[in-house]
Amino acid sequence: MKVRITFTEGLLGTASANPEVHEEFIAMKSADAAKVKEEIESLPAEDLIEKAITVFPRTEDGTPMLWDYQVKGFFKETLGILLDFALPDVKIGKAKLSRWTFKKIVDNAVMISPRRIPLRLPEGGAITHCTRPLRADTMKGERVALATSEEAPAGTMIEFELRTLDKKLDEYMIECLDYGKNKGMGQWRNSGRGRFVWEEIKD
């Protein structure tokens, strides 16, 4: 299925603009050195680098983009939410779809392409910055820090192909996409950022 997503709220970038911080974080999660190098090279030019800002990676021509695994991460998080509230028991392949198996099932049975998914900004739209407070309760009381992220405006679109290895998964992926109007992608999504609507693109 070919999918077009249109963000109804601003979408925030998630990659650290500091390549050393990004490399350390990604390296902890990936055994694929070539992919780590590819992601480091996709960060914006050095004159944009600040340690406290999260950004969108860029394609070779400088277009802001998402990685395929970020879209897959949306499906993984949303499927987990729906399993808590709405979805019936079902077998996917030889495994029962459950709170203990859904991550592995999405990792191995849901395919997103292309690997680099460009952001199509609305006419006249531009990447801006969103700064917000981060609050944490610590042993010394509440602490507040500021976080800044690149933000793509409402109306930004992405297009990708979604494939599953088991047709029974298709209806659940559609439910996940429908849930995007409630909770979307990117940083600060609990506040409503990154919400979207979607449509299937017909050939």
Instruction: Return the SS3 of 76.
Output: helix
pLDDT of residue 46: 45
pLDDT of residue 153: 98
Q: Is the confidence at residue 151, as pLDDT, over 60?
A: yes
Q: Is the confidence at residue 45, as pLDDT, over 70?
A: no
pLDDT of residue 49: 42
pLDDT tens digits, one per residue of 109-137: 999 999 999 999 999 999 999 887 766 67
Listed residue (172, 178, 169) closest to 200, CA to CA: 178
Mean pLDDT for the chain? 84
Upstream peptide bond of 133 is cis (omega within 30 degrees of 0) = no
What pTM value is reported for the model? Answer: 0.80
Q: How many CB atoms are located within 10 Å of the residue 193 CB?
A: 22
* Domain 2-14+51-200, CATH among 1.10.1760, 3.30.70, 1.10.3470, 3.30.1240: 3.30.70
The DSSP annotation for 156-185 comes to -EEEEEEEESSGGGHHHHHHHHHHTTTS-S
pLDDT of residue 59: 93
Per-residue pLDDT, averaged over 134-152, amounts to 77
pLDDT of residue 19: 59
pLDDT tens digits, one per residue of 11-25: 999 887 665 544 554
Per-residue pLDDT, averaged over 189-203, amounts to 93
Band (pLDDT 50/70/90 cuts) for residue 48 is very low
Q: Is the confidence at residue 141, as pLDDT, over 70?
A: yes
Quick one: residue 124, left, alpha or beta (phi over 0 = left, psi -120 to 50 = alpha)?
left
pLDDT of residue 200: 97
pLDDT tens digits, one per residue of 94-109: 788 888 899 999 999 9
